[in-house]
Amino acid sequence: MTAEPVRHQRSEGEVQLTMGPRGTVRLREAQAAKVRIPFCVPEAILINTGGGLAGGDRFRFDITAEDDTTLTVTSQAAERVYRSLGPAAEVSVALKAGQRASLMWLPQETILFDGAALTRTISADLAPTARLLAVESLILGREASGETVADARLTDRWRIRQGGRLVFADDVFFTGAPPASLATLGDSRAFATVLLVDAHAEELLEPVRAAIGGRGAASAWSGKLVARLTARDGFDLRKSLIPALSVLAGGGGLPKTWSF
């Protein structure tokens, strides 16, 4: 008699949030994905009640800032991606910003553990006068805990459109040992991608470069700014990432969860 294959429990979650000039227009939470909106603050805090991601988990976030709306979306804590028994954890992020809207996608770090597998897609549909600041940072194991990542899978895909035109496309992919050549991570085990889409992005290039220092590089052209940062660990990464984001966030500042 053939034994039935083991069926592992999977976690799923979805958040649909639309914010307007006067506050929340639509909010839907499903399963393990939750969102909390502080009183009198144009901010949304995402929470994964499952405590992390494992292979086969699926999460989707649909975030909209309507015309003339300011919205910052962050996470309660760093997201953890644990060892997979086969399939990748899937995270899908869909952002939309209307005319004169300012949308900031500022989740805290994602930590990949040894054997983890993550597929993440980030798409954005921006009005011609919208402003977007987005960051994704990733840590390959926690050095302070003696963790190393010898084998993992990552697929990270960004597609950003403004006025219906593709303005930014980026793909990061590796499988097996994290890339460690001089042209990739070297001996770094933490890295981040920062994107600003704004008509005045080029004016912020030199202040951002000063904030990054020797931990990365930044370029700006045609109404956008892109920065790459690498560091030995997550703590070292934040030393440059937080100042750089503070420059790009302007008067809004960073979410309080980033200071915990």
Torsion angle of the four alpha carbons 140, 29, 132, 244, in this order, in degrees rounded to the nearest 10: -40
Question: For the segment 221-256, what is each residue's pLDDT rounded down to a tens digit?
Answer: 999 999 999 999 999 999 999 999 999 998 668 898
Dihedral pair phi/psi, residue 184, rounded to 5°: -120, -110
User: Looking at this protein, which amino acid is placed at residue 216?
Assistant: G
Q: Which H or E element spans position 236?
A: helix 234-249
Maximum CA extent, the chain: 70
Q: What is the pLDDT of residue 77?
A: 92
H-run or E-run covering 248: helix 234-249
Q: What are 103-149's pLDDT values in tens digits?
A: 999 999 999 999 999 999 999 999 999 999 999 999 998 766 667 88
Q: pTM for this one?
A: 0.93
Per the document, the length of the chain is: 260
Closest listed residue to residue 118, CA positions, set 59, 62, 30, 189: 59
Q: What is the DSSP pairing of strand 33-36 with strand 43-48?
A: antiparallel
pLDDT per position as a tens digit, 159-218: 999 999 999 999 999 999 888 887 788 888 999 999 999 999 999 999 999 999 989 999
**pLDDT exceeds 60 at position 6:** no
- Residue 16: pLDDT over 70: yes
* First-residue to last-residue Cα distance in the chain: 54
Residues 207 and 221: their CA atoms lie apart, in Å, by 15
pLDDT of 89 > 60? The answer is: yes
Q: Determine the Cα–Cα distance for residues 145 and 141; give it in Å rounded to an integer.
A: 8
Which residue is it, tokens 């639309």?
18
Residue 34 CB burial class (10 angstroms; 0-12, 13-18, ≥19): middle
Model confidence at 85, in pLDDT bands (50, 70, 90)? Answer: confident
In degrees and rounded to multiples of 5, residue 100 shows phi and psi of 60, 15
**Cα distance between residue 96 and residue 109, in whole Å:** 22
